[in-house]
Structure 1
Amino acid sequence: MTKRQIAYLACTAAVVASGVAAAASSADWQTVHRVNRGESIQKAVNAAKPGDIISVSPGTYHESVSITVSGVTLRGAGAESTVIVPDKASTDSTCAKAGNGICVTGTQSKPVEDVTVRSLTLRGFKKNGLFATGTDRLRVEKVTSEKNGQWGIGQERSVRGEFRHDTVQANGDAGLFLANTVDAEEGAVDSKAVISDNRLLGNRIGVTVRRLRNVRVDSNEATGNCTAMFLVGDENKPRPGALRVTDNYVHANNKFCAKTARLPFLQGSGIILTGIEDSLVADNRVQDNVGKAPMSGGIVLAKNFKGALNQRNDIRDNVVLRNGTADLASQDKGKGNTFRGNRCAASVPAGMC
Structure 2
Amino acid sequence: MKKPVAKLALWLCLLITSGAAFAAELAVKDGQSIQEAVNAAAPGDVILIHPGTYKESVYIDKDNITLRGVVVEGEWPVLDGEHKRNDAILYSGNDVTVEWLTIKHYKGNAIMGQAGNNYVIRYNRVIDTGVYGIFPQFGKNGLIEYNVLSGIEDAAIYVGMCDNVVVRHNEVFDNVAGIEIENTRHAIVENNYAHNNTAGLLVFITPGLPIKTAYDVILRDNFVVNNNTENFGAPGSIVAKVPRGIGVVIMAADDVIVEGNIISGNTTAGIVITDLGFVTDIASDPESEPNPDRIAILDNLMYDNGTDPVPEIKAAMLTQFTRRGPDIFANNGSAQEPDNCILQKEQYITFGLKKWSKCERTNTHDIDTYLLADGAPPREIENDEDRTKRLYQGICAGCHAYNMRMIGPPTLAIQALYHKNPEGIANYIADPHKIRPDYPPMPTQSHLSEDLRRKVAEYMLEIEK
TM-score range (shorter-chain normalised) is: 0.7 to 0.9
Q: Distance in 2 between matches of 1:59 and 1:26?
A: 36
Q: Is residue 2:80 matched to residue 1:85?
A: yes
C-alpha distance 48-343 of structure 1, shift in aligned 2 (>3 A)? farther
Residue type matched to 2:218 in 1? R
Question: 321, 338, 341: which one pairs with 2:341?
Answer: 338
Alignment of 1:261-276 (within 5 A): 261=236, 262=238, 263-276=240-253
Give yes or no for contact 1:162–1:193 (8 Å, CA) kept in 2.
yes
Alignment of 1:69-84 (within 5 A): 69-78=62-71, 81-84=76-79
What percent of counterpart residues are identical?
A: 24
Any unmatched runs of 5+ in structure 2? Answer: 283-289, 307-324, 359-465
Alignment of 1:94-113 (within 5 A): 96=85, 99-105=86-92, 112-113=93-94
TM-superposed CA distance for 1:126, in Å, is 0.9
TM-superposed CA distance for 1:332, in Å, is 2.8
C-alpha distance 147-258 of structure 1, shift in aligned 2 (>3 A)? closer
Q: Distance in 2 between matches of 1:87 and 1:148?
A: 10
TM-superposed CA distance for 1:341, in Å, is 3.3
Aligned length: 313
Richer in strand (by share):
1
- With normalisation by structure 2, the TM-score equals 0.62
Q: Distance in 1 between matches of 2:168 and 2:52?
A: 28
Q: Which residue of 1 aligns with 2:115?
A: 134
Q: Is residue 2:20 matched to residue 1:43?
A: no
Q: Distance in 2 between matches of 1:314 and 1:350?
A: 12
Give yes or no for contact 1:80–1:121 (8 Å, CA) kept in 2.
no
Q: Distance in 2 between matches of 1:167 and 1:87?
A: 20
Question: 300, 313, 320: which one pairs with 2:295?
Answer: 313
Residue type matched to 1:77 in 2? V
Residue type matched to 1:102 in 2? I
TM-superposed CA distance for 1:201, in Å, is 1.0
1:279 is paired with a residue whose SS is strand
Q: Distance in 1 between matches of 2:176 and 2:83?
A: 25
TM-superposed CA distance for 1:31, in Å, is 0.9
Q: Provide the alpha-carbon RMSD of the alignment.
A: 2.9
Q: Distance in 1 between matches of 2:186 and 2:346?
A: 26
Give yes or no for contact 1:240–1:277 (8 Å, CA) kept in 2.
yes
- Structure with more relative contact order (C-alpha pairs < 8 Å, separation 6 or more): 2
Q: Which residue of 2 aligns with 1:4?
A: none
Worse overlay, 230-239 or 202-211? 230-239
TM-superposed CA distance for 1:27, in Å, is 9.2
C-alpha distance 258-31 of structure 1, shift in aligned 2 (>3 A)? closer
Give yes or no for contact 2:176–2:232 (8 Å, CA) kept in 1.
no
Alignment of 1:156-167 (within 5 A): 156-167=137-148
Question: 340, 344, 348: which one pairs with 2:351?
Answer: 348
Q: Distance in 1 between matches of 2:82 and 2:223?
A: 36
C-alpha distance 350-68 of structure 1, shift in aligned 2 (>3 A)? closer
2:149 is paired with a residue whose SS is strand
TM-superposed CA distance for 1:241, in Å, is 0.9
Give yes or no for contact 1:317–1:342 (8 Å, CA) kept in 2.
no
Question: 297, 300, 308: which one pairs with 2:269?
Answer: 297
Q: Which residue of 1 aligns with 2:151?
A: 170
Give yes or no for contact 1:171–1:202 (8 Å, CA) kept in 2.
yes
Residue type matched to 2:89 in 1? I
1:311 is paired with a residue whose SS is coil
Q: Which residue of 2 aligns with 1:250?
A: 224
1:43 is paired with a residue whose SS is helix
Q: Distance in 2 between matches of 1:114 and 1:176?
A: 19
Give yes or no for contact 1:80–1:120 (8 Å, CA) kept in 2.
no
C-alpha distance 276-288 of structure 1, shift in aligned 2 (>3 A)? same
Q: Which residue of 2 aligns with 1:186?
A: none
Q: Which residue of 1 aligns with 2:177?
A: 205
Give yes or no for contact 2:115–2:138 (8 Å, CA) kept in 1.
yes
TM-superposed CA distance for 1:75, in Å, is 0.4
Alignment of 1:113-132 (within 5 A): 113-132=94-113
TM-superposed CA distance for 1:42, in Å, is 0.8
Residue type matched to 1:312 in 2? R
C-alpha distance 301-265 of structure 1, shift in aligned 2 (>3 A)? closer
Listed one character per residue, the Cα deviations across residues 57-87 of structure 1 (whole Å, up to 9, x for unaligned) are: 1111111111111101100013851110126
